[in-house]
Amino acid sequence: MPAVINLNYSVSTNRINLTWQKPKNSYCTITSYSINCKLVGSVNCPYKSATDYTRHSKDPSYELRDLKPYSIYEVIVAALGDIGSGEASAINVTTKAIETLSKNEIPQIIGKSINPWNVDVYLSQIRCEDIQGPIHLLFETQCLSQWCSAKDNRRTISYKYPQSYITLRSLIPYTNYSVVMKVSRHSDFKDYRSVSDNFTTNSSVPGNITDVLVTSRDEKIYIL
């Protein structure tokens, strides 16, 4: 039996509405349709899932419910008739993101590797199955010491699983800083949650001395 045709869908955060048309040139009686749904993974990261089930419909339409937001599903539809099943029609569908962040989507600062001019800020890992939409991170560092000429430094990244750290660069040795990590669903950070921490960069070591100019009292010059 040929495959169903014009397989279309509309999607929300947790539902997929499917419509299709019966196969052309089908010489058997169609009794129903099988709809197989498999969770492939989050948009940000693939992961193994036990979500793989099959439903049946007598009509050329079906609504898949209770799905995970911001996730990719493989949907396969086939006609069933009195002489067996038809060819499969398959599509991948991505459910929409949840607008607001959940607490499980907010990474925490769990450690730092501090150098004179840069600091690696280590983040707790978000579980793949907890990601319900894009996650944007904005790091703002502020110098707390009196000798800083440039007080502020900003860096924006989009969280990519499995993000583990971010490097803050162009810092001043032996200097006190505060860092604020803003977490938002939106790249313009119109709504965000924040996590803050303080640190002091390490002192630096003078570089290698390559040339020393020495002038004696009688103005003779020696290069060492």
Tell me the pLDDT tens digit for each residue of 136-160: 999 988 899 888 876 677 777 777 7
List residues bridging with 200 in a β-sheet.
176
Q: Which domain holds residue 152?
A: 103-200
Cα→Cα distances 178→46, 82, 121, 172, 198, Å:
35, 71, 12, 13, 4
Number of domains in the chain: 2
Q: What is the CATH number of the domain that holds 134?
A: 2.60.40.10
- pTM value is 0.77
Establish if 209 belongs to a structural domain. no
Establish if 17 belongs to a structural domain. yes
Residue 64, Cβ density class (10 Å: 0-12 exposed, 13-18 middle, ≥19 buried): buried
Lowest mean pLDDT segment, chosen from 84-88, 150-154, 218-222: 218-222
Residues 51 and 107 in one domain: no
Given 64, 94, 124, the domain boundary residue is 94
Contact 58, 32 (CB under 8 A): yes
Residues 85 and 23 in one domain: yes
Tell me the pLDDT tens digit for each residue of 150-199: 667 777 777 777 778 899 988 889 999 999 999 999 989 889 999 999 99
AA identity, residue 80: L
